[in-house]
Chain A
């Protein structure tokens, strides 16, 4: 009887005596993520489930990511299969209005320049000793696009998924803090004051809006077939939106599906943040490189904006180059706010929205190109 009592009490307190200092550290980190999401409003849709997932997975003996753990089930079903980020892409596509881009297609090149940080960070990561595929996963933070980062890192470096995702979403939320100092450092006051005329924003026919996602899917997927799932899902969502005949599917994509998948995806990302996997020097490196990646995107976007400014005889305000990243529409709003600081008559929002929509497509195309080149080089299988 006595030994049974002792065993029972031991069982009751097994969790308390099993907890490690590193699990306590992770519980604190998870609480910080919850604080940032709830109190500061930084990407709450993702940071809240990520933070909570990180709490669950660091509860001693709960074994949430064990063979039969409930988080393991969702992780295997949705993250390992890459289905979750793709479903999110359908939602993003159905929420995105590409009209500003269709009205001003040349600006899409800023969306390409805004992805160069990915590739420059790849070189940095390799220099710091990351494996080839790990370096790819770190560099993709520069896409400034959560689902793309999750898709690529779960494909090539699932052990880094937690750090990469947290970095991607945190820095996306910090774009209004990261970008302005770089914008001021790389442009002159005269350049920041440039007023861009109301561009010849021709109205776009409904047929053009419908044909666009279909044509991009076929064309870009043929050029970069490994990226077809990324391109195809975002464009499918956009077709649902623009076709105007599947309101229920569009609504489900941008509401029910996106919400359920966001919740499960966030929990799964949090579930990868087990103390022994997350608390490494490598995680700090990933966070640092992610910051550099997004900064480099901004730098190259601004430099490309300056080039466009020079080529057009000063008609383009280089600030809009900073909007060539995928954080939509946050980056465009930052550009508008920064332009207004230096010239109250300057309304850059529409132009910046074009660049920002270009950045959304650009991030997907950059990832697609990357995947296809990796396959071509024989680094990953067909």
Chain B
């Protein structure tokens, strides 16, 4: 594989791949938050 094919392939897939994986992680975070929503501590709720 010549240098420029290597460079452009790694750069494009690298940038796209990093963006894609991090976007998927952000979706995953939203999903986890939905599944395990925050619930106020019982003692805090009582005081509130």
Binds B, one of A60-68, A86-94, A216-224: A216-224
CB pair A216 B25 closer than 8 Å = yes
* Residues 14-37 of B contacting A (Cβ, < 8 Å): 14-15, 17-19, 21-30, 32-33, 36-37
**Minimum-distance CB pairs A-B, first 7:** A207-B36, A105-B26, A119-B11, A105-B29, A369-B17, A112-B22, A203-B38
Which B residues are in CB contact (< 8 Å) with A243? Answer: none
Confirm or deny: A341 has a beta carbon within 8 angstroms of a beta carbon on chain B.
no
A211 within 8 A of B: yes
| Distance in angstroms between the alpha carbons of A219 and B8 in the assembled complex | 26
Q: Which residue of B lies closest to A210 (CB)?
A: B36
Contacting residue for B38 out of A123, A205, A365, A377, CB 8 A: A205
Contact A208 B33 (CB under 8 A): yes
Closest to B23 in A: A109
Could you tell me if B22 and A111 are in contact, using CB atoms closer than 8 angstroms? yes
Query: Apart from A109-B23, A365-B22, what are 20 other A-B pairs with CB-CB below 8 Å?
Result: A108-B26, A115-B18, A119-B15, A122-B11, A122-B14, A204-B38, A205-B37, A208-B32, A215-B28, A224-B17, A361-B22, A362-B18, A362-B22, A365-B18, A365-B21, A365-B25, A369-B21, A372-B17, A377-B6, A378-B1
Does A373 touch B at the CB level, under 8 Å?
A: yes
Q: 0/1 per residue, A122-151, Cβ < 8 Å to B?
A: 110010000010011000000000000000
Cross-chain contact B14 with A369 (CB below 8 angstroms): yes
Complex: how many Å from CA A132 to CA B3?
7
Complex Cα–Cα for A135 and B39 (A)? 49
Instruction: Count B-side interface residues using an 8 Å CB cutoff.
Output: 32
Which residues does chain A contribute within 8 Å of B37, judged by CB atoms? 205
Give the nearest-CB partner of B4 in chain A: A126
A373 touches B9 (CB 8 A): yes
B48 within 8 A of A: no
Q: Which residues of A contact B15 (CB under 8 A)?
A: 115-116, 119
Please give, as numbers and ranges, the residues of chain B lying within 8 Å of A212 by CB-CB distance: 29, 32
26 contacts between A and B (CB under 8 A): A105-B29, A108-B29, A112-B22, A115-B18, A116-B15, A122-B10, A123-B7, A126-B4, A126-B7, A136-B10, A202-B33, A205-B37, A205-B39, A211-B32, A211-B36, A216-B25, A361-B25, A362-B22, A366-B18, A369-B14, A369-B17, A372-B17, A373-B17, A377-B1, A377-B10, A378-B1
A369 touches B18 (CB 8 A): yes
Q: A50 at interface (Cβ–Cβ under 8 A)?
A: no
A106 and B36 contact, CB distance less than 8 A:
no
A332 interface residue (CB < 8 Å to B): no
Q: Is the pair B36, A373 in contact by a Cβ cutoff of 8 Å?
A: no
Which residues of chain A come closer than 8 Å to B23, judged between CB atoms?
Answer: 108-109, 112
Residues A224 and B10 in contact, CB atoms below 8 Å apart: no
Closest B residue to A370 using CB positions: B14
- Residues of chain A within 8 A (CB-CB) of B22 are 108-109, 111-112, 358, 361-362, 365
- CB pair B36 A379 closer than 8 Å: no
Complex Cα distance, B32 from A101, in Å, reads 13
Bound form: Cα–Cα A370–B16 in Å: 11
Is the C-beta of A166 less than 8 angstroms from some C-beta in chain B?
no
Cβ–Cβ < 8 Å partners of A224 in chain B: 17, 21
Instruction: Name the residue on A nearest B16 (C-beta).
Output: A369
Residues of A contacting B25 with CB < 8 Å? 105, 108, 216, 219-220, 361, 365
> Hey, which chain B residues are within 8 Å of A196, CB to CB?
none
A379 touches B38 (CB 8 A): no
